[in-house]
A and B are shown apart, each in its own frame.
Chain A
Amino acid sequence: MYTPKKHEPVRIGFYVCHCGTNIAGMVDVQALARYVATLPNVVVSRDYKYMCSDPGQEMIVQDIIENRLNRIVVAACSPLLHEHTFREATRRGGLNPFFFQMVNIREHDSWVHTDRQLATRKAMALARAAIQRVPLHKPLEVKKVSINPNVLVVGGGIAGIHAALVLANAGKQVYLVERDPTIGGHMAKFDKTFPTLDCAMCVLSPKMAAAGSHPNITLWSYSEVVKVDGYVGNFKVTVRRKPRYVLEDLCTGCQECVEACIYKEPKFRDEFNLGLSKRKPVFLPFPQAIPPVVLIDPETCIELKTGKCKKTCVEACGDRKAIDFKQKEELREITVGTIIVATGFQIFDAKRTPYYGYGIYPNVYNALEVERLVNASGPTGGEIILRNGQVPKKVAIIHCVGSRDENSNRWCSRVCCLYSLKLAHLIHEHTQAEIYNFYIDIRTPGKSMEEFYCRIAEEGINLIRGRVADVYPDPSDGATGRLIVQAEDTMLDCIMKVPVDMVVLSVGLEPHSDTEKIRRLFNMSCSSEGWFLERHPKLAPVSTFTDGIFLAGCCQGPKDIPDSVAQAGAAAAEAFSLIDKGNIEQEPNTAFVVEAECSGCKSCIPLCPYTAISLLPDKKKAYINEALCKGCGTCVAACPSGSIVQNLFEDAEIFNEIEGLLAPTSF
């Protein structure tokens, strides 16, 4: 590889990109190229329409060869986008790729300013800083670290299950960690799914079973990730396994213990059915739960609370000996190379919109409860029976509850219009009831969705455009719990008051309330709404800002099942491509101690978060273990004798940048 000798004169090539009109529209690119041409060491200074295109890159390669350039500066978009592209072009020209420097005049300049003269002057200052910096650049080598092929998938909804299966089928070892006692997520609660109206469990349960029994998947349900250390390729993860009081390997899922429980009747709130039914202290969340293993709830089990139960469950279990009241929580440590976060969403709590009466009037339900009611394996065996035992004759479905609302959540939850139409169809099918859907707009993006809407609309449901203002008891009828839904019909321009027997609130999707904790755990970012932030909305939609951590499903934003699955496949492929490569290239921005200058004061040693620095006992000098250094530069800034150097960010390079930025520009 060609590296200029010490005495060889610096020859810089400068290139400014128009980016169509994205840059050229606000920055005078010709003036910038002319200005840079006057700066010291600059041999070539050009402007070009699209520097990142093949001809743009080729121009750099040719110039390096023909003009014997030994430094390259490109003023274009953010280095986070194209630094790699131009480093590669620099390398193809025969130079060490680190003889390159990028100047951000799009995101940080042309896109954020409105005065062409000021924007151009700023671009000149930024370019000058780079021109002054590159002569100091040194040839560097990228470090390669090997990558652990195991993958951690967090969250066992449809997204997490799919990602885990894709990787397991490709022969990778996957740890699937699910917080609930069973995998399946929200989809396991649905009866049918839009737009096909096919049975949710017919699609999901084979996948759940496959994930549960796959030789390459270690499924830890009822478990949570509590600690993540390390970096891409080598994450050390601690998982807490909560006690089920049932030994997973020994339980056959026969549920004879449930039958035999001292409580003859189910008495406690059944979480899976959102409290619409009851369970015993020992229970299986639902018949197709994976793993098919019961658990005992310590809050309600007499033995666990008092130690004074007859333990009829243990008797029933007999020789299987699967019940273990002494089980303790366990901490398990695993090492993985990549992580896929697929923790999904929670539904909007309709109590936050009290004018719709949720939690006040028993005949007001949220949509997820209704999913359970229409479900053949739900609490009512698929019959829509109200809390008062009646079958509703008139039903109102209110769209956008906790979505598109300044007072709660501003975003569109994307699936509610469609699931509202689905529920309209299903409720009508089950009860023949008259259905009123109150909507703000009907939004049906996506393949086959508009067709689905037309189909349901033709079935004769009443679609009323208008936000519902109020739900209150029918004053003329107190006994049956009938309700009045009051809305403004914005098509007919009149106030409507519709008496109904049942109100369904189409609650929106929102980030989990513990999002902040999970975000911290995995060192991710969140959008202002609280969804996990992708690295780039278009170019890196399943990557995060932390290398090796990927996103799938609704934790990244509201989406339907097809999109969740597609994203899960993409996340699995991203993880796979890292694993398959076998190693990762790391920026060579590590730090090293110039031994001759180190006074041995040891101030740097406690500063390093990775304990990369130690004192060489014989020499009494600090030493940085390059394999451990992540290149934050904290020790460099703190060394009182200035004896630590950070590659790519050397003091002298930064000083030159400062000087370049503040030098007078004549424009």
Chain B
Amino acid sequence: MENATPSPAGNGSWSPRIIAFFCNWCTYTAADLAGVSRLKYAANTRTIRLMCSGRVDPQFILEAFAKGADGVLIGGCHPNDCHYAEGNYKMLRRFQLLKRMLKDLGIAEERLRLEWISAAEGEKVKSVINDMVKKITALGPLDLPGKFADWDREMTALAHAVESAPVEKEVAHA
């Protein structure tokens, strides 16, 4: 399927777009460290900073997919290390529910990822992002906005067909 919006690869070829939700205290800081250490990784993620991974509302994730993300990455502190004691556990529980739900929707498992990355693990930011980009590149675009547009078209066509159908036929069906 064609991707409706231009992708970060530029020059026409497709490359995934990943929205990352990083907690302020561990993973966001780790990504800063990756920068200070001048580690190099794929340019496919765009990060939203939240105070804690516990703030990640499932709706944020669904919204990201709905608006055209090919993947969503959540980064929080390691178990027992959350700045707010246990926000990451709360996230983990939600994440497990959400994973099941996405599966039912036919969205591949690799598109949603949760990683514990401490403030010292700049290297892990790099390897996780590179790995995720690789896996999602292999999956290809998700393009929910495109699919929504297709569904919309189908729905209108269907509605149209229903409207213009002769009444008797409907009665016959009933």
The yes or no verdict on A and B being binding partners is: yes
> What residues on B are CB-neighbors of A78 within 8 Å?
32, 35
> What residues on A are CB-neighbors of B35 within 8 Å?
78, 106-108, 111-112
Cβ 8 A contact of B120, one of A528, A609, A666: A528
Known: A107-B34, A114-B40, A545-B29. 19 other contacts (CB 8 A): A80-B28, A107-B31, A113-B43, A121-B10, A122-B46, A125-B46, A525-B26, A533-B120, A610-B84, A632-B87, A634-B87, A634-B90, A637-B55, A638-B90, A657-B48, A658-B60, A659-B63, A662-B68, A667-B10
Q: Are A80 and B32 in contact, with the CB atoms below 8 A?
A: yes
Contact mask for chain A residues 517-561; partner B; CB cutoff 8 A; 1 contact, 0 none: 000100101111000010000000000011000000000000000
Whether, in the assembled complex, A298 has its beta carbon less than 8 Å from a beta carbon of chain B, the answer is no
> What residues on A are CB-neighbors of B64 within 8 Å?
658, 662
> Is the interface on chain A under 10, 10 to 19, 20 to 34, or 35 or more residues?
35 or more
Alpha-carbon distance between A630 and B64 when the two chains are bound, in angstroms: 27
Shortest CB-to-CB span from B32 to chain A, Å, is: 4
Q: Are A649 and B51 in contact, with the CB atoms below 8 A?
A: yes
Whether, in the assembled complex, B111 has its beta carbon less than 8 Å from a beta carbon of chain A, the answer is no
Q: Are B56 and A632 in contact, with the CB atoms below 8 A?
A: no
> What residues on B are CB-neighbors of A545 within 8 Å?
25, 29, 83, 119
> What residues on B are CB-neighbors of A610 within 8 Å?
84
Q: Are B50 and A661 in contact, with the CB atoms below 8 A?
A: no
6 nearest A-B pairs in the assembled complex, by CB-CB distance = A107-B35, A633-B55, A634-B54, A632-B84, A118-B43, A609-B85
Q: Are A122 and B63 in contact, with the CB atoms below 8 A?
A: no
Cβ 8 A contact of A662, one of B67, B84, B126: B67
Shortest CB-to-CB span from A123 to chain B, Å, is: 10
**Count of B residues near A, CB < 8 Å?**
56
Whether, in the assembled complex, A319 has its beta carbon less than 8 Å from a beta carbon of chain B, the answer is no
> What residues on B are CB-neighbors of A129 within 8 Å?
46, 48
Given contacts A113-B40, A609-B85, contact A632 B46 (CB under 8 A): no
Whether, in the assembled complex, A338 has its beta carbon less than 8 Å from a beta carbon of chain B, the answer is no
Alpha-carbon distance between A589 and B81 when the two chains are bound, in angstroms: 20
Q: Which of B43-87 contact A (CB under 8 A)?
A: 43, 46-52, 54-60, 63-64, 67-69, 80-81, 83-87
Alpha-carbon distance between A527 and B37 when the two chains are bound, in angstroms: 13
Cβ 8 A contact of B83, one of A523, A533, A654, A657: A523
Alpha-carbon distance between A546 and B9 when the two chains are bound, in angstroms: 39
Q: Are A533 and B52 in contact, with the CB atoms below 8 A?
A: no
Given contacts A111-B35, A637-B57, A658-B19, contact A631 B40 (CB under 8 A): no
Whether, in the assembled complex, A462 has its beta carbon less than 8 Å from a beta carbon of chain B, the answer is no
Whether, in the assembled complex, B160 has its beta carbon less than 8 Å from a beta carbon of chain A, the answer is no
Q: Are A609 and B43 in contact, with the CB atoms below 8 A?
A: no
Alpha-carbon distance between A634 and B64 when the two chains are bound, in angstroms: 19
Q: Which of B75-109 contact A (CB under 8 A)?
A: 80-81, 83-87, 90, 94
Shortest CB-to-CB span from A462 to chain B, Å, is: 40
Q: Which of B6, B40, B55, B56 has the most CB of A within 10 A?
A: B55
Alpha-carbon distance between A80 and B27 when the two chains are bound, in angstroms: 13
> What residues on B are CB-neighbors of A111 within 8 Å?
35-36, 38
Shortest CB-to-CB span from A611 to chain B, Å, is: 11
**Chain A positions near chain B (C-beta within 8 angstroms):** 78-80, 104, 106-109, 111-115, 117-119, 121-122, 125-126, 129, 520, 523, 525-528, 533, 545-546, 589, 607, 609-610, 630-634, 636-638, 646, 649, 651, 654-655, 657-659, 661-667
Whether, in the assembled complex, B162 has its beta carbon less than 8 Å from a beta carbon of chain A, the answer is no
> What residues on A are CB-neighbors of B46 within 8 Å?
122, 125-126, 129, 661-662
Q: Which of B9, B28, B84 has the most CB of A within 10 A?
A: B84
Given contacts A78-B32, A523-B83, A609-B86, contact A117 B10 (CB under 8 A): yes
Whether, in the assembled complex, B39 has its beta carbon less than 8 Å from a beta carbon of chain A, the answer is yes
Cβ 8 A contact of A651, one of B9, B57, B86: B57
Q: Are A533 and B119 in contact, with the CB atoms below 8 A?
A: yes
- Please, which residue of chain B has its CB at the minimum distance from the CB of A666? B6
Interchain residue pairs with CB less than 8 A apart (8) = A80-B29, A118-B10, A129-B48, A637-B56, A638-B90, A658-B63, A662-B17, A667-B10
Given contacts A115-B43, A632-B55, contact A607 B67 (CB under 8 A): no
> What residues on A are CB-neighbors of B121 within 8 Å?
528
Q: Are B90 and A112 in contact, with the CB atoms below 8 A?
A: no
Cβ 8 A contact of A637, one of B10, B94, B119: B94
Alpha-carbon distance between A636 and B40 when the two chains are bound, in angstroms: 35
> What residues on B are CB-neighbors of A637 within 8 Å?
54-58, 90, 94
